[in-house]
Chain A
Amino acid sequence: MTLAMLGEAWRAMGANRLRTLLTMLGMVIGVGAVVLMMSIGQGAQYAIKQSIAAMGSNLFILLSGSSSSGGVRSGSGGGYTLNVADGEAISELPGVAAVAPIHPGSAQVIYGPNNWNTSVIGTTPDYLSARSWNITSGSAFTASDVRSSTRVALIGRTAAQNLFGDEDPVGKTIRIRQSPFLILGTLALKGQGMDGRDQDDTILIPLSTAQRQVFGTQFPGSVRMMMVQTTTQEIMPQVERSMNELLRQRHRIREGMDNDFYLRNLTAAADSAAESTRVMSLLLGAIASVSLLVGGIGIMNIMLVSVTERTREIGIRMAIGARQRDILLQFLLEAIIISVLGCSIGLLLGIGGALLVESLTGTAVIISVSAVLVAFSVAATVGIFFGYYPARKAAQLDPIEALRYQ
């Protein structure tokens, strides 16, 4: 019975192919848009989560501020108001897990016939733990390397590939600005940072070596930035206060004077970035759902036209024994077929579009089963909901009125 009705509905749709296709198009676009938007949104969320995880957790970044000496104020990170001793004092604070002073720079690096310009970061062993960065082969440098300014280095994946190709870098000697450095170990793959830069294109060397032998500095022992990691996320506000207090005390900043350093909670910033992408993707999904609704209204519109056009047919069917529920089912099935078919096509197009976006832009997309299910069930519901009214209208026609309809 239902099978026969299905065939009938199918035939009715086939009789007006262009119209059926156009009606379906609303559904196709709606579902396609929802799936595409959700996929891109979830991909963005995933990418952010990844880079947050790669950044390391519970992190502060401490930048040296303007040293207002002689009325000339440098921008944040411009002066050298922080020093290694500040870092050591901070590491004594309760709740602080790691403190890593950083001297960033870039340099031409040479190995054999290869040379490569890469980021060279002078820091301490704490940097690895703060950024949850592992060593894949060899070993890290130690605090004693930092104390005695040895020329040792850890190399990131991208830098290693460009200098060594398939060779194992561990134990090899590279030249950074002409000075030879022994590679102690290789760093695990880190991927893109929050700023989109390749974090694996880097070489880590002891802080003191960077300052004295590679980049040189007017203020040995002073740094422009430090990373501070706390033991837990909950303790971060408390550590922030005690760090502020400590540094103001150490820098002899009087009451009412501005800090000569900037303290930023990286984890909070990352979380809010993640939150805003989440909201963004929800918003995109919501906007896309509106097109689903529009698609549904399109179905209703066409079904109403169809019922009117086929009034006489309905009359004939009733005259030969169709019950109200037979007519209802016939038109409802038509609406459902249109919406489910439109859904399926939209689903394929949405997934195809998402994959296309991924391959064209390289941004991650995630086609989640839940998004697909939501889009599909919403569309089916829309089909039934918007198909029901016209179908009921058809079913409730009076047989003789319908037969007389010209």
Chain B
Amino acid sequence: MPDALINIAGLHKAYQTAAGPFPVLKDVSLSIVAGEFVAIMGHSGSGKSTLMNILGCLDSATTGEYRLTGRNVAQLGKDELAHLRNGTIGFVFQGFNLLQRMTLLDNVALPLIYCGVEREERQVRALDLLSKVGLADKAQSLPNQISGGQQQRVAIARALVNRPSLILADEPTGNLDSHTSAEIMALFESLNRDGITIVLVTHEDDIARYAQRQIHFQDGRIVSDQVTPAKVTS
């Protein structure tokens, strides 16, 4: 698959524990092309987060190959990985992971600092993203002054600010009520319509239904990979 955005083959991951290596991912192969909206599902402990961290270049596989935009990630240096996390990948966490001391605007602008964007432009772009997620009026607030759903929207704005081609979201609605979850998923849906590839971990069917493709994990292996039924009919 030459134009796959993500291409992993024979991926294994074992955590080193006191009791020896503990295998979590077992021979995972997967290919995702640009523009897809993929939901990864599975029980708790099935290895979803482990896979996401590897996809997000935060962690590395024990064996197997991971190609992102055609480049073998295992062969990249630390700075190049940081550069990928900065510009190519936008990560959205279950716990939002905003910096509590900073205003929402500064939180959103933070990735731009690491690629040398000037202050003026950082502010403009961050504000632009904040208004896109409907929080422009809260730009100068601190994270603890807004609700969880709003914090997740800020986190998404931060993930988007450096115009990534891939959004990785690990249970982004895990801490949110169903109504707020729906809002967040609508946001992902519209981002996907704009051409951004989205890989999202969830264990709720309602959430997974927003994706075009659902991959099920069980005990570190992919057990099914199919197009979302509802999407087929629509």
Give chain A's interface residues, CB within 8 Å of chain B.
1, 3-5, 8, 11-12, 15, 312-313, 316-326, 399-400, 403
**What is the CA–CA distance of A361 and B85 in the complex, to the nearest angstrom?**
64
19 further interface pairs, Cβ-Cβ under 8 Å (given A11-B102, A322-B86, A324-B82): A3-B119, A4-B122, A8-B113, A319-B58, A319-B91, A320-B111, A320-B159, A321-B83, A321-B85, A321-B111, A322-B114, A323-B78, A323-B82, A324-B78, A325-B79, A326-B82, A399-B59, A400-B53, A400-B59
Q: Which residues of A contact B179 (CB under 8 A)?
A: none
Do B79 and A323 touch across chains, with their CB atoms under 8 A apart?
A: yes
Cα–Cα, bound, A12→B99 (Å)? 11
A398–chain B nearest beta-carbon distance, Å: 8
Determine how close the nearest CB of chain A comes to the CB of B171; give it in whole angstroms. Answer: 14
Q: Are B114 and A326 in contact (CB under 8 A)?
A: yes
**In the assembled complex, B32 has its CB within 8 A of some CB on chain A:** no
Of the A-B pairs whose beta carbons lie under 8 Å apart in the complex, a sample of 7, sorted by A's number, is A312-B97, A320-B111, A320-B159, A321-B87, A323-B82, A326-B113, A400-B59
Contact with B56, one of A3, A8, A319, A324 (Cβ below 8 angstroms): A319
A80 to B113, CA, bound (A): 89
B114, A316: Cβ atoms closer than 8 Å: no
Which of A1, A3, A317, A323 has the most chain B CB atoms closer than 10 A to its own CB?
A323
Which residues in A have their C-beta under 8 angstroms from that of B122? 4
Q: In the complex, A182→B187 CA distance in Å?
A: 108
B85/A319 in contact, CB under 8 A = yes
Residues from chain B with Cβ under 8 Å of A1 in the complex: 113, 116
Alpha-carbon distance between A158 and B211 when the two chains are bound, in angstroms: 101
* Bound CA–CA A403/B93 (angstroms): 10
Chain B residue numbers with a CB within 8 Å of A15 are: 101
Question: A326-B114, A400-B53 are contacts. A320–B101 as well, Cβ < 8 Å?
Answer: no
Separation in Å of the B16 CB from the closest CB of chain A?
Answer: 12
Closest chain B CB from A11 CB (angstroms): 7
Give the docked Cα–Cα distance between A325 and B111 (Å): 15
4 A-B pairs with least C-beta separation: A321-B86, A323-B82, A321-B114, A400-B59
Which A residue sits closest to B59, measured CB to CB?
A400
If A4-B119, A5-B113, A400-B59 touch, whether A319 touches B79 (CB-CB below 8 Å) is: no
Specify which chain A residues have a CB less than 8 angstroms from the CB of B82 in the assembled complex.
Answer: 318, 321-324, 326
Cα–Cα distance between A326 and B116 once the two chains are bound (Å):
11
The smallest C-beta distance from B115 to any residue of chain A, in angstroms, reads 7
When distances are taken between beta carbons in the complex, the residues of chain B under 8 Å from A320 are 85-86, 91, 110-111, 114, 158-159
Minimum distance in angstroms from A317 CB to a CB of chain B: 7
Within 8 A of A (CB), among B44-64: 53, 56, 58-59
Q: Across the interface, which residues of A come within 8 angstroms of B101, CB to CB?
A: 11-12, 15
Q: Which residue of B lies closest to A8 (CB)?
A: B113
B113 touches A313 (CB 8 A): no
Chain A residues with Cβ under 8 A from B85's Cβ?
Answer: 318-321, 399
Chain A residues positioned under 8 Å from B58 (CB to CB) = 318-319, 399-400, 403
B140 to chain A, nearest CB (A): 14
Docked Cα-Cα span, A325 to B58, in Å, equals 17
Residue of A nearest to B162 (CB): A321
- Checking B53, B97, B119, B162 against A316 with a beta-carbon cut-off of 8 angstroms, the contacting residue is B97
Output the nearest chain B residue to A312 by Cβ-Cβ distance.
B97
Q: Which residues of B contact A12 (CB under 8 A)?
A: 101
Contact, CB under 8 Å: A316 / B79: no
Q: How far is the CA of A11 from the CA of B91 in the complex (A)?
A: 25
Task: Please determine whether A324 and B79 come into contact, CB atoms closer than 8 angstroms.
Answer: yes
Neighbouring A residues of B113 by C-beta, 8 Å: 1, 4-5, 8, 326
Which chain A residues border B53 with CB–CB below 8 Å? 400
Give min CB distance, A67 to chain B, whole Å.
Answer: 87
Contact residues in B for A319 (Cβ distance below 8 Å): 56, 58, 85, 91, 97
CB distance from B109 to the nearest CB of A (A): 9
In the bound complex, how far is the Cα of B97 from the Cα of A321, in angstroms?
Answer: 14
A406 to chain B, nearest CB (A): 11
Cβ-closest chain A residue relative to B110: A320
Give Cα distance in the complex from A4 to B56, angstroms.
26
Instruction: For the complex, give the distance between the alpha carbons of A8 and B99 in Å.
Output: 12
Query: Measured between C-beta atoms, what is the minimum distance from A2 to chain B in Å?
Result: 10
B174 → chain A closest CB, angstroms: 16
B83-99 Cβ-contact flags toward A at 8 Å (1 or 0): 10111000100000111
Known: A400-B53, A400-B58, A403-B58. A323 touches B114 (CB 8 A): yes
Q: Least Cβ distance of B49 to chain A in Å?
A: 10
Within 8 A of A (CB), among B100-142: 101-102, 110-111, 113-116, 119, 122
By a CB distance below 8 angstroms, the chain B residues around A316 are 97-99
Contacts of A318 in B (CB 8 A): 58, 82, 85
In the complex, residue of chain A having the shortest beta-carbon distance to the beta carbon of B158 = A320
- Please give, as numbers and ranges, the residues of chain B lying within 8 Å of A324 by CB-CB distance: 78-79, 82
Looking at the assembled complex, report how far the CB atom of A265 sits from the nearest CB atom of chain B, in whole angstroms. Answer: 69
Knowing A11-B102, A403-B58, the reply to whether A321 touches B78 (Cβ < 8 A) is no
CB distance from B121 to the nearest CB of A (A): 12
Contact (A321, B59) CB under 8 Å given A15-B101, A400-B53: no
A319 to B169, CA, bound (A): 13
Chain A residue numbers with a CB within 8 Å of B59 are 399-400
Query: Closest CB-CB distance, B89 to chain A, in whole Å?
Result: 9
| Shortest Cβ distance from B84 into A: residue | A321
